[in-house]
């Protein structure tokens, strides 16, 4: 057996250079680089290997460990999970900063490979700088924090352990059903230790992404369920995107006249202009989907986790008491949710197998003009909301209602007085859609923007909608835009981010400038954690620590709004800054941004309470059942009334 003596760090780099993905006959490298913030835990270990001979791996300099890992998540998503950038950090705080990103990747089933450094395996220098000491278990370190948020976790206490650890990490990272975060914890002494690694460990490995079709029994059961359904509705999730099954879904729906809704993860897998596409469903869903599903007798979930936003906390999806659920998913776990009839297999080939049998039976749904009619009604409403502008006298009538009408007027008056912006959030989204490139990638994650984007944003550009809404992780938006740009350098990329998320994590702006990656960041500044303030006040709770207001003599945060100049913050990083307080100024800023060669930040001052709300949706939250406030008790009654109708599992 031939061997080569090298350090553990060097073996990691050499191994990752030899990992490839094969999908539908196309072979490509799997690992494209490393994001790193070098610290004492690995700068002379794994860091030495990356400096000496990185191979084809490109090294990216992060500014915040969570941010760089978020960029890696977005990079993998933009490549539909077939290319990744690994991340490495020092021990202690550097490692723990990546825990949030590990959670985000695992929730979203995105491959994320992390190499957090660890304390010494020998324990001889203990306690080293940044080491967490647990008196009852000296084997426990900060890296153990990753265990509940990772699909695979390992610690390399001896060099020879690296081989089985890396093979298992690749198994998880390339598994369509169980994809998520793989963590290889690296004691800093072991990184520099040498070992005679067998040469076969470094042979080229091609990881085939299989297209498993569900078994015959499950396919026949699915066919029977669809044939028995008069009005089925298909929900297209992230699994459709990663399976490259968008065209298959459209062909399926067109053949059998079945309407299709998209989840946040699935949006842009098929074009929004597709006639049978009724938009998002559930809590952030459209009027079309949420009304149409009332009469549906079968939901066909394809590649969706059926989270509470999709099901409307098991109320929106189950307003028909006789509705049944068919779940097509690579994961048995997800396919078994909601007491569904599971069909475990790849979205594309499983739908094709079902379609072939349905054609033999001559199946057609009982839908006639309902889909076109509801889409026409929704499109008129969508355009009305997008065009809604503030004139100082409130808003027109319609289904678009500010979140808390009794408080809205005073809040808007205060905001206009202190901040000066009169852009409505929904109109801002509409202006952006009109002004930016048709094939632009839009990245967002948290706050009220996900609801407005799922309802109002339309695109026919494949894989151009990058919404992190599994974890709804504030701070993903800017780092995620960096990841998308690195993955698709020829595409225009826009980050839509609330002021709260911008404040939480904007450090990767420096990496964006460093990489000369043109990205346009639009900050929606409503001087609040807007959607949470809506949730708070809309359920009878007084506004408390969710608006950006000065503290007054009363001791409360109820003074004037705090003005933040986000354009200047961006300029400090090296971006070109614009401030927009009116719809016209936002439009002008977007046009100017397209002409710039470098990255741009647009500080859009957006009126609070001006996002699209409702549309026959409901979200189950834990409203207090005992309170002095009558408004809270009324909100609790609304919860209980919905719970009486929601499905229980």
* Res 612 pLDDT > 90: no
**642 against 458, higher pLDDT:** 458
> Predicted confidence band at 34 (pLDDT cuts at 50, 70, 90)?
very high
- Token pair in block for residue 167: 């093979």
Residue 341, CB half-sphere, CA atoms under 13 Å: how many? 19
The yes or no reply on domain 404-605 and CATH 3.40.50.300 is no
The pLDDT tens digits of the residues spanning 45-54 come to: 999 999 999 9
Interior angle at CA 69, CA 65 and CA 72, nearest 5: 150
How far is Cα 254 from Cα 248, in angstroms, rounded to an integer? 10
How far is Cα 73 from Cα 75, in angstroms, rounded to an integer? 5
Closest by CA to 62, choosing from 43, 37, 87, is: 37
Select 216-376's CATH number: 3.40.50.1220, 3.30.160.100, 3.30.70.100, 3.40.50.300: 3.40.50.1220
Phi-psi region for residue 614, left (φ > 0), alpha (ψ -120 to 50) or beta? left
How far is Cα 615 from Cα 623, in angstroms, rounded to an integer? 21
Q: How much of the chain exceeds pLDDT 90, in percent?
A: 90
The pLDDT tens digits of the residues spanning 253-309 come to: 999 999 999 999 999 999 999 999 999 999 999 999 999 999 999 999 999 999 999
Average pLDDT, stretch 298-322? 94
> Predicted confidence band at 401 (pLDDT cuts at 50, 70, 90)?
very low
Q: In the prediction, which pLDDT does 498 show? A: 96
Q: In the prediction, which pLDDT does 119 show? A: 95
Is it true that 3-208 and 404-605 share their CATH fold? Answer: yes
The pLDDT tens digits of the residues spanning 588-611 come to: 999 999 999 999 999 999 999 888
How far is Cα 602 from Cα 47, in angstroms, rounded to an integer? 37
- Token pair in block for residue 243: 């399976």
Select 3-208's CATH number: 3.40.50.10790, 3.30.530.20, 3.10.20.30, 3.40.50.970: 3.40.50.970
Structural domain spans, the chain: 3-208, 216-376, 404-605
Q: In the prediction, which pLDDT does 174 show? A: 98
CB environment 73-105: b (16+ within 10 A), e (fewer): bbbbbbbbbbbbbbbbbbbbebbbbbbbbbbbb
Signed CA dihedral, 395, 401, 403, 407: sign only: positive
The pLDDT tens digits of the residues spanning 196-228 come to: 999 999 999 999 999 999 999 999 999 999 999
Average pLDDT, stretch 138-167? 97
Residue 361 CB neighbour total at 10 angstroms:
11
Q: In the prediction, which pLDDT does 405 show? A: 60
Q: In the prediction, which pLDDT does 464 show? A: 98
> Predicted confidence band at 391 (pLDDT cuts at 50, 70, 90)?
confident
Average pLDDT, stretch 7-27? 98
* CB 113, CB 54: distance < 8 Å: no
Rounded alpha-carbon distances, angstroms, from residue 345 to 219, 302, 338, 483: 10, 10, 18, 29
* Res 400 pLDDT > 80: no
Could you give phi then psi for residue 298, rounded to 5 degrees?
-150, 130
* Res 409 pLDDT > 90: no
> Predicted confidence band at 393 (pLDDT cuts at 50, 70, 90)?
low
Q: Is 578 helix (H, G, I), strand (E, B) or coil?
A: strand
Checking DSSP bridges between strand 194-198 and strand 3-7, what pairing results, if any?
A: antiparallel
The pLDDT tens digits of the residues spanning 511-546 come to: 999 999 999 999 999 999 988 998 888 888 988 999
Checking DSSP bridges between strand 298-302 and strand 232-236, what pairing results, if any?
A: parallel
Average pLDDT, stretch 8-16? 98
Average pLDDT, stretch 342-359? 98
CB environment 235-258: b (16+ within 10 A), e (fewer): bbbbbbbbbbbbebbbebbeebbb
The region of weakest confidence among 150-159, 391-400, 477-486 is: 391-400
Q: How many residues does the chain have?
A: 649
Q: What is the mean pLDDT of the chain?
A: 94
**415 against 410, higher pLDDT:** 415
DSSP assigned state of 343 = E
Q: In the prediction, which pLDDT does 410 show? A: 85
* Res 140 pLDDT > 50: yes
Q: How much of the chain exceeds pLDDT 70, in percent?
A: 98
How far is Cα 460 from Cα 270, in angstroms, rounded to an integer? 7
* Res 459 pLDDT > 50: yes
Q: In the prediction, which pLDDT does 398 show? A: 40
DSSP assigned state of 9 = H
Rounded alpha-carbon distances, angstroms, from residue 75 to 107, 242, 271, 483: 16, 13, 22, 4
């Amino acid at each position: 057996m031939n061997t080569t003596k090298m350090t553990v760090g060097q073996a990691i780099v050499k191994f990752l250079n030899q990992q490839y993905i094969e999908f539908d006959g196309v072979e490509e490298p799997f690992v494209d680089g490393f994001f790193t913030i070098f610290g004492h835990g690995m700068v002379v270990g794994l860091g030495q290997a990356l400096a000496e001979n990185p191979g084809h791996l490109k090294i990216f300099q992060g500014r915040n460990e969570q941010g760089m890992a978020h960029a890696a998540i977005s990079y993998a998503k933009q490549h539909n999970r077939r290319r990744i950038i690994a991340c490495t950090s020092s021990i202690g705080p550097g490692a723990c900063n990546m825990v949030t990103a590990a959670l985000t990747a695992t929730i979203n089933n995105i491959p994320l490979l992390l190499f957090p450094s660890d304390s010494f395996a020998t324990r001889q220098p203990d306690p080293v700088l940044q080491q967490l000491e647990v008196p009852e278990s000296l084997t426990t370190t900060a890296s153990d924090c990753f265990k509940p948020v990772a699909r695979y976790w390992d610690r390399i206490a001896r060099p020879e352990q690296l081989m089985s650890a890396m093979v298992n990490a690749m198994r998880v990272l390339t598994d369509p059903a169980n994809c998520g975060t793989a963590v290889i914890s690296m004691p800093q002494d072991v990184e520099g230790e040498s070992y005679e690694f067998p040469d076969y460990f470094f042979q080229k490995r091609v990881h085939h992404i299989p297209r498993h079709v569900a078994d015959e029994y499950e396919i026949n059961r699915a066919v029977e369920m669809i044939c028995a359904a008069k009005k089925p509705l298909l929900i297209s999730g992230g699994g459709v995107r990663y399976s490259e099954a968008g065209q298959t879904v459209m062909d399926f729906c067109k053949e059998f006249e079945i309407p299709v809704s998209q989840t946040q993860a699935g949006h842009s897998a098929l074009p929004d202009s597709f006639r049978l596409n009724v938009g998002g469903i559930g809590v952030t869903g459209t009027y079309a989907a949420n009304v149409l599903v009332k009469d549906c007798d079968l939901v066909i979930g394809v590649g969706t986790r059926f989270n509470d936003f999709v099901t409307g906390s098991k109320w929106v999806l189950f307003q028909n008491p006789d509705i049944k659920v068919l779940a097509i998913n690579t994961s048995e776990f997800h396919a078994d949710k909601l007491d569904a009839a599971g069909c475990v297999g790849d979205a594309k080939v499983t739908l094709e197998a079902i379609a072939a049998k349905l054609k033999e039976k001559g199946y057609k749904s009982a839908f006639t003009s309902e889909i076109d009619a509801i889409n026409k009604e929704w499109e008129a409403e969508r355009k009305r909301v997008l065009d809604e502008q503030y004139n100082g006298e409130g808003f027109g009538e319609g289904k678009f209602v500010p979140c808390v009408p009794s408080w809205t007027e005073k809040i808007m008056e205060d905001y206009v007085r202190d901040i000066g912006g009169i852009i409505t959030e929904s109109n801002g989204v509409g202006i952006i859609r009109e002004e930016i490139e048709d094939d632009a990638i839009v990245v967002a994650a948290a706050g009220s923007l996900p609801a407005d984007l799922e309802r109002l944003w339309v695109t026919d550009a494949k894989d151009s909608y990058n919404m992190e809404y599994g974890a709804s992780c504030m701070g993903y938006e800017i780092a995620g835009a960096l990841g998308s740009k690195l993955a698709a350098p020829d595409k225009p990329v826009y980050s839509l981010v609330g002021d709260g998320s911008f404040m939480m994590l904007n450090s990767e702006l420096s990496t964006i400038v460093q990489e000369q990656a043109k990205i346009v960041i639009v900050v929606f500044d409503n001087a609040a954690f807007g959607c949470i303030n809506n949730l708070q006040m809309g359920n009878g709770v007084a506004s408390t620590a969710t608006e950006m207001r000065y503290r007054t003599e009363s001791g409360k945060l109820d003074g004037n709004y705090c003005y933040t100049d986000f354009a200047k913050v961006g300029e400090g990083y090296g971006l070109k800054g614009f401030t927009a307080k009116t719809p016209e100024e936002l439009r002008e800023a977007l046009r100017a941004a397209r002409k710039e060669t470098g990255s741009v930040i647009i500080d859009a001052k957006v009126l609070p309470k001006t996002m699209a709300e409702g549309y026959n949706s409901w979200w189950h939250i834990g409203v207090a059942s005992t309170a002095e406030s009558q408004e809270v008790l009324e909100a609790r009654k609304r919860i209980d009334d919905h719970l009486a109708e929601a499905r229980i599992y």
